[in-house]
Amino acid sequence: MTIHHPASTAQLPVPAQSSYQNRVADYWNAEQNPVNLQLGMIDDLYHHHYGVGDVQWSVLDESDPERRREKITAELHRLEVAQAELLAGRLGPLAPTDRVFDAGCGRGGGSITANLRYDCHADGVTISAKQAQFANEQARARGVDGKVRYHHRNMLDTGLPTGAYAASWNNESTMYVELDLLFAEHSRLLRHGGRYVVITGCYNDTYGRASREVSLINAHYICDIHPRSAYFKAMAKNRLVPVHVEDLTAATVPYWELRKEADHLVTGIEDAFLTAYENGSFQYLMIVADRI
Ligand code: SAH
Protein backbone atom coordinates (compact mmCIF):
# COMPACT_ATOMS: atom_id res chain seq x y z
CA MET A 1 0.00 0.00 0.00
CA THR A 2 1.28 3.43 -0.87
CA ILE A 3 0.38 6.35 1.34
CA HIS A 4 0.75 9.78 -0.22
CA HIS A 5 1.78 12.52 2.15
CA PRO A 6 1.55 16.18 1.23
CA ALA A 7 4.98 17.42 0.18
CA SER A 8 5.15 19.70 3.18
CA THR A 9 2.84 20.16 6.16
CA ALA A 10 3.56 23.89 5.86
CA GLN A 11 1.14 23.89 2.92
CA LEU A 12 -1.73 22.95 5.23
CA PRO A 13 -3.82 25.78 6.71
CA VAL A 14 -2.73 26.61 10.27
CA PRO A 15 -4.27 26.87 12.81
CA ALA A 16 -6.94 24.26 12.24
CA GLN A 17 -10.02 26.40 12.81
CA SER A 18 -13.36 25.84 11.09
CA SER A 19 -15.38 28.54 9.33
CA TYR A 20 -17.84 28.28 12.22
CA GLN A 21 -15.07 28.90 14.75
CA ASN A 22 -13.94 31.91 12.70
CA ARG A 23 -17.47 33.36 13.01
CA VAL A 24 -17.51 32.71 16.78
CA ALA A 25 -14.15 34.48 17.06
CA ASP A 26 -15.51 37.42 15.00
CA TYR A 27 -18.49 37.65 17.37
CA TRP A 28 -16.36 37.80 20.53
CA ASN A 29 -13.74 40.07 18.96
CA ALA A 30 -16.50 42.61 18.20
CA GLU A 31 -18.51 42.12 21.40
CA GLN A 32 -18.88 45.31 23.47
CA ASN A 33 -22.17 44.72 25.29
CA PRO A 34 -22.66 47.04 28.28
CA VAL A 35 -23.94 44.03 30.26
CA ASN A 36 -20.46 42.55 29.94
CA LEU A 37 -18.33 45.70 30.21
CA GLN A 38 -20.17 47.92 32.73
CA LEU A 39 -20.52 45.09 35.24
CA GLY A 40 -16.83 44.19 34.98
CA MET A 41 -15.69 47.79 35.44
CA ILE A 42 -17.02 47.80 39.01
CA ASP A 43 -14.07 45.78 40.35
CA ASP A 44 -12.21 44.71 37.18
CA LEU A 45 -13.66 41.20 37.31
CA TYR A 46 -14.94 40.69 33.78
CA HIS A 47 -17.44 37.85 33.49
CA HIS A 48 -19.46 36.83 30.44
CA HIS A 49 -21.88 34.52 32.17
CA TYR A 50 -25.16 34.78 34.05
CA GLY A 51 -25.85 35.13 37.75
CA VAL A 52 -27.21 32.97 40.55
CA GLY A 53 -28.90 33.75 43.86
CA ASP A 54 -31.66 35.91 45.27
CA VAL A 55 -32.05 39.48 44.04
CA GLN A 56 -32.27 42.46 46.38
CA TRP A 57 -35.33 43.92 44.70
CA SER A 58 -35.03 47.17 46.67
CA VAL A 59 -32.58 48.36 43.97
CA LEU A 60 -35.63 49.03 41.77
CA ASP A 61 -37.08 51.45 44.35
CA GLU A 62 -34.30 54.02 43.85
CA SER A 63 -35.93 57.20 42.52
CA ASP A 64 -32.87 58.87 40.96
CA PRO A 65 -32.61 57.31 37.45
CA GLU A 66 -28.78 57.39 37.28
CA ARG A 67 -28.42 55.93 40.79
CA ARG A 68 -31.06 53.30 39.96
CA ARG A 69 -29.09 52.18 36.90
CA GLU A 70 -25.91 51.97 38.99
CA LYS A 71 -27.62 49.92 41.67
CA ILE A 72 -29.07 47.46 39.14
CA THR A 73 -25.67 47.10 37.45
CA ALA A 74 -24.00 46.41 40.81
CA GLU A 75 -26.67 43.88 41.77
CA LEU A 76 -26.32 41.95 38.49
CA HIS A 77 -22.54 41.94 38.97
CA ARG A 78 -22.93 40.61 42.50
CA LEU A 79 -24.96 37.68 41.09
CA GLU A 80 -22.49 36.89 38.28
CA VAL A 81 -19.63 37.01 40.80
CA ALA A 82 -21.61 34.60 43.02
CA GLN A 83 -21.85 32.23 40.04
CA ALA A 84 -18.07 32.39 39.48
CA GLU A 85 -17.47 31.75 43.19
CA LEU A 86 -19.83 28.76 43.13
CA LEU A 87 -17.81 27.22 40.30
CA ALA A 88 -14.41 28.09 41.81
CA GLY A 89 -15.45 26.56 45.14
CA ARG A 90 -15.82 23.19 43.41
CA LEU A 91 -12.31 23.19 41.93
CA GLY A 92 -10.47 22.72 45.19
CA PRO A 93 -8.74 22.03 47.38
CA LEU A 94 -5.81 23.38 45.34
CA ALA A 95 -2.27 24.36 46.28
CA PRO A 96 -0.43 27.50 45.05
CA THR A 97 1.76 25.24 42.91
CA ASP A 98 -1.27 23.71 41.13
CA ARG A 99 -2.31 24.69 37.60
CA VAL A 100 -5.87 25.17 36.41
CA PHE A 101 -7.25 25.40 32.86
CA ASP A 102 -10.11 27.82 32.02
CA ALA A 103 -11.63 26.68 28.70
CA GLY A 104 -13.38 29.48 26.81
CA CYS A 105 -12.18 32.10 29.28
CA GLY A 106 -13.82 35.24 27.90
CA ARG A 107 -12.30 38.44 29.32
CA GLY A 108 -10.69 36.43 32.09
CA GLY A 109 -12.73 36.84 35.30
CA GLY A 110 -12.94 33.11 36.04
CA SER A 111 -9.18 32.53 36.12
CA ILE A 112 -8.72 35.59 38.34
CA THR A 113 -11.42 34.26 40.68
CA ALA A 114 -9.61 30.91 40.94
CA ASN A 115 -6.24 32.60 41.49
CA LEU A 116 -7.63 34.89 44.21
CA ARG A 117 -9.13 31.88 45.98
CA TYR A 118 -6.27 29.36 45.70
CA ASP A 119 -3.25 31.43 44.62
CA CYS A 120 -2.91 28.80 41.85
CA HIS A 121 -1.50 29.11 38.34
CA ALA A 122 -4.15 29.52 35.63
CA ASP A 123 -4.17 29.15 31.85
CA GLY A 124 -7.20 30.65 30.13
CA VAL A 125 -7.94 29.88 26.48
CA THR A 126 -10.24 31.85 24.17
CA ILE A 127 -10.77 31.75 20.44
CA SER A 128 -10.93 35.57 20.47
CA ALA A 129 -7.55 37.31 20.15
CA LYS A 130 -9.10 40.53 21.53
CA GLN A 131 -10.31 38.78 24.68
CA ALA A 132 -6.95 37.11 25.32
CA GLN A 133 -5.19 40.46 24.96
CA PHE A 134 -7.71 42.24 27.22
CA ALA A 135 -7.48 39.50 29.88
CA ASN A 136 -3.67 39.54 29.85
CA GLU A 137 -3.72 43.32 30.38
CA GLN A 138 -6.02 42.82 33.36
CA ALA A 139 -3.69 40.17 34.84
CA ARG A 140 -0.73 42.55 34.40
CA ALA A 141 -2.63 45.41 36.07
CA ARG A 142 -3.38 43.14 39.03
CA GLY A 143 0.24 41.99 39.18
CA VAL A 144 -0.71 38.32 38.74
CA ASP A 145 0.58 37.90 35.18
CA GLY A 146 3.31 35.61 36.53
CA LYS A 147 0.62 33.09 37.48
CA VAL A 148 -2.43 33.86 35.31
CA ARG A 149 -1.98 33.68 31.55
CA TYR A 150 -4.44 33.86 28.69
CA HIS A 151 -3.93 32.32 25.28
CA HIS A 152 -5.58 32.89 21.93
CA ARG A 153 -6.20 29.25 21.09
CA ASN A 154 -8.84 26.68 20.31
CA MET A 155 -9.91 24.90 23.50
CA LEU A 156 -10.28 21.66 21.54
CA ASP A 157 -6.60 21.69 20.66
CA THR A 158 -4.77 23.84 23.20
CA GLY A 159 -1.18 22.66 22.87
CA LEU A 160 -0.97 22.91 26.69
CA PRO A 161 0.96 20.18 28.55
CA THR A 162 -0.60 16.73 29.12
CA GLY A 163 -1.53 15.80 32.71
CA ALA A 164 -0.31 19.13 34.06
CA TYR A 165 -3.61 20.42 35.47
CA ALA A 166 -5.20 19.82 38.86
CA ALA A 167 -8.53 21.30 37.76
CA SER A 168 -10.27 22.66 34.70
CA TRP A 169 -13.63 24.09 33.75
CA ASN A 170 -16.01 25.50 31.18
CA ASN A 171 -18.18 28.36 32.31
CA GLU A 172 -20.87 28.85 29.66
CA SER A 173 -18.62 27.93 26.77
CA THR A 174 -19.49 24.29 25.96
CA MET A 175 -22.27 25.22 23.51
CA TYR A 176 -19.66 26.28 20.95
CA VAL A 177 -18.02 22.89 20.56
CA GLU A 178 -18.49 19.14 20.14
CA LEU A 179 -18.49 17.69 23.63
CA ASP A 180 -16.54 14.55 22.70
CA LEU A 181 -13.65 16.63 21.40
CA LEU A 182 -13.83 19.04 24.33
CA PHE A 183 -13.84 16.40 27.05
CA ALA A 184 -11.03 14.49 25.32
CA GLU A 185 -8.90 17.63 25.64
CA HIS A 186 -9.85 18.18 29.33
CA SER A 187 -9.11 14.52 29.98
CA ARG A 188 -5.70 14.87 28.35
CA LEU A 189 -4.82 18.00 30.32
CA LEU A 190 -6.07 16.87 33.75
CA ARG A 191 -3.92 14.76 36.00
CA HIS A 192 -5.40 11.55 37.42
CA GLY A 193 -7.88 12.54 40.16
CA GLY A 194 -8.12 16.05 38.74
CA ARG A 195 -11.36 17.95 38.95
CA TYR A 196 -13.55 19.17 36.08
CA VAL A 197 -16.47 21.59 36.49
CA VAL A 198 -18.98 22.85 33.94
CA ILE A 199 -21.75 25.40 34.31
CA THR A 200 -23.94 25.55 31.23
CA GLY A 201 -27.37 26.04 29.78
CA CYS A 202 -28.61 22.79 28.30
CA TYR A 203 -31.87 21.74 26.74
CA ASN A 204 -34.01 19.38 28.73
CA ASP A 205 -34.28 15.89 27.20
CA THR A 206 -37.65 15.39 28.85
CA TYR A 207 -39.06 18.32 26.81
CA GLY A 208 -38.15 16.51 23.59
CA ARG A 209 -35.95 18.52 21.25
CA ALA A 210 -34.71 22.10 21.32
CA SER A 211 -37.66 24.46 21.87
CA ARG A 212 -38.33 27.64 19.91
CA GLU A 213 -36.73 29.67 22.73
CA VAL A 214 -33.63 27.45 22.83
CA SER A 215 -33.33 27.90 19.06
CA LEU A 216 -33.61 31.68 19.48
CA ILE A 217 -30.77 31.60 22.02
CA ASN A 218 -28.69 29.52 19.59
CA ALA A 219 -29.26 32.05 16.80
CA HIS A 220 -28.53 35.00 19.11
CA TYR A 221 -25.12 33.73 20.25
CA ILE A 222 -24.22 31.61 17.16
CA CYS A 223 -24.05 28.51 19.33
CA ASP A 224 -25.54 25.02 19.52
CA ILE A 225 -26.95 24.21 22.97
CA HIS A 226 -26.55 20.53 23.82
CA PRO A 227 -29.14 18.34 25.52
CA ARG A 228 -28.46 17.48 29.16
CA SER A 229 -27.90 13.81 28.26
CA ALA A 230 -25.03 14.67 25.88
CA TYR A 231 -22.88 15.87 28.80
CA PHE A 232 -23.03 12.59 30.68
CA LYS A 233 -22.45 10.48 27.56
CA ALA A 234 -19.41 12.48 26.51
CA MET A 235 -17.98 12.58 30.06
CA ALA A 236 -18.35 8.81 30.44
CA LYS A 237 -16.49 8.31 27.17
CA ASN A 238 -13.64 10.53 28.31
CA ARG A 239 -12.87 9.30 31.83
CA LEU A 240 -14.74 12.13 33.56
CA VAL A 241 -16.96 10.75 36.34
CA PRO A 242 -19.63 13.07 37.78
CA VAL A 243 -19.49 13.48 41.56
CA HIS A 244 -22.02 16.32 41.92
CA VAL A 245 -24.82 17.55 39.66
CA GLU A 246 -26.83 20.65 40.51
CA ASP A 247 -29.79 22.12 38.69
CA LEU A 248 -29.24 25.88 38.98
CA THR A 249 -32.33 26.83 36.98
CA ALA A 250 -34.32 28.20 39.94
CA ALA A 251 -31.20 30.01 41.18
CA THR A 252 -30.64 31.87 37.89
CA VAL A 253 -34.22 32.96 37.15
CA PRO A 254 -34.05 35.99 39.53
CA TYR A 255 -30.94 37.24 37.66
CA TRP A 256 -32.93 37.21 34.40
CA GLU A 257 -35.94 38.87 36.00
CA LEU A 258 -33.75 41.71 37.23
CA ARG A 259 -31.82 41.95 33.95
CA LYS A 260 -35.15 42.37 32.13
CA GLU A 261 -35.73 45.53 34.20
CA ALA A 262 -32.32 46.95 33.27
CA ASP A 263 -33.12 49.13 30.24
CA HIS A 264 -29.48 50.22 30.03
CA LEU A 265 -28.16 46.64 29.85
CA VAL A 266 -30.69 44.43 28.06
CA THR A 267 -29.54 42.69 24.89
CA GLY A 268 -32.96 41.48 23.71
CA ILE A 269 -32.48 37.81 24.63
CA GLU A 270 -33.94 38.11 28.15
CA ASP A 271 -37.49 36.93 27.30
CA ALA A 272 -36.19 33.87 25.43
CA PHE A 273 -34.24 32.78 28.52
CA LEU A 274 -37.11 33.39 30.94
CA THR A 275 -39.66 31.60 28.73
CA ALA A 276 -37.29 28.69 28.08
CA TYR A 277 -36.74 28.23 31.82
CA GLU A 278 -40.46 28.61 32.55
CA ASN A 279 -41.67 26.12 29.92
CA GLY A 280 -39.17 23.50 31.08
CA SER A 281 -37.29 23.25 27.80
CA PHE A 282 -34.05 24.69 29.14
CA GLN A 283 -31.99 24.17 32.29
CA TYR A 284 -29.02 25.86 33.92
CA LEU A 285 -26.78 23.06 35.12
CA MET A 286 -23.56 22.52 37.05
CA ILE A 287 -21.73 19.21 36.73
CA VAL A 288 -18.66 18.44 38.83
CA ALA A 289 -16.58 15.44 37.74
CA ASP A 290 -13.38 13.64 38.62
CA ARG A 291 -10.79 12.61 36.03
CA ILE A 292 -10.11 8.92 36.51
N1 SAH B 1 -16.04 31.52 30.57
C2 SAH B 1 -16.13 32.94 30.39
C3 SAH B 1 -16.66 33.36 29.01
C4 SAH B 1 -17.95 32.74 28.52
S5 SAH B 1 -18.44 33.37 26.93
C6 SAH B 1 -16.89 33.56 31.52
O7 SAH B 1 -17.47 32.85 32.33
O8 SAH B 1 -16.91 34.78 31.63
C9 SAH B 1 -17.93 32.07 25.80
C10 SAH B 1 -16.44 32.03 25.54
O11 SAH B 1 -16.14 30.85 24.81
C12 SAH B 1 -15.87 33.17 24.72
O13 SAH B 1 -14.73 33.65 25.37
C14 SAH B 1 -15.43 32.52 23.42
O15 SAH B 1 -14.30 33.13 22.82
C16 SAH B 1 -15.09 31.14 23.90
N17 SAH B 1 -15.01 30.11 22.85
C18 SAH B 1 -15.96 29.69 22.01
N19 SAH B 1 -15.48 28.71 21.21
C20 SAH B 1 -14.19 28.50 21.58
C21 SAH B 1 -13.17 27.59 21.15
N22 SAH B 1 -13.38 26.70 20.20
N23 SAH B 1 -11.97 27.67 21.77
C24 SAH B 1 -11.72 28.57 22.75
N25 SAH B 1 -12.66 29.44 23.20
C26 SAH B 1 -13.88 29.39 22.63
Identify the CATH number of the domain in which residue 178 sits.
3.40.50.150
Cα 245 to its chain centre, rounded Å, is: 17
DSSP 51: -
Q: At 251, is the secondary structure helix, strand, or coil?
A: helix
Residue 162 CB partners (closer than 8 Å, separation 6+): 188, 189
Whether residue 3 lies inside any domain: the answer is: no
The two beta strands, 240-247 and 282-291, are: antiparallel
164 lies in which domain range? 19-291
Ligand 1 and 165: CB distance under 6 A: no
Whether residue 7 lies inside any domain: the answer is: no
CA–CA distance, 94 with 30 (Å, rounded to integer): 35
Residue 176 CA: which ligand 1 atom is closest? 19
CA–CA distance, 255 with 85 (Å, rounded to integer): 16
Residue 106 CA: which ligand 1 atom is closest? 13
Which run of H or E residues covers position 80?
Answer: helix 65-89
Ligand 1 and 171: CB distance under 6 A: yes
Q: How far is the CA of 173 from the centre of ligand 1 (A)?
A: 5
Q: How far is the CA of 68 from the centre of ligand 1 (A)?
A: 31
Whether residue 4 lies inside any domain: the answer is: no
CA–CA distance, 171 with 165 (Å, rounded to integer): 17
Mean pLDDT by 10 residues, the chain (292 residues): 50 68 94 89 95 98 97 97 98 97 98 98 97 98 98 96 99 98 98 98 98 98 97 98 98 98 94 98 98 98
Evaluate whether 254 touches 55 at the Cβ level (below 8 Å).
yes
Task: Look at the chain and report how many structural domains it folds into.
Answer: 1
Question: What per-residue confidence (pLDDT) applies to 36?
Answer: 85
Whether residue 114 lies inside any domain: the answer is: yes
Evaluate whether 286 touches 246 at the Cβ level (below 8 Å).
yes
Nearest to 161 by CA among 189, 133, 186: 189
The predicted model scores a pTM of: 0.94
Whether residue 175 lies inside any domain: the answer is: yes
Evaluate whether 167 touches 110 at the Cβ level (below 8 Å).
no
- Mean pLDDT, rounded, of the chain: 94
Whether residue 157 lies inside any domain: the answer is: yes
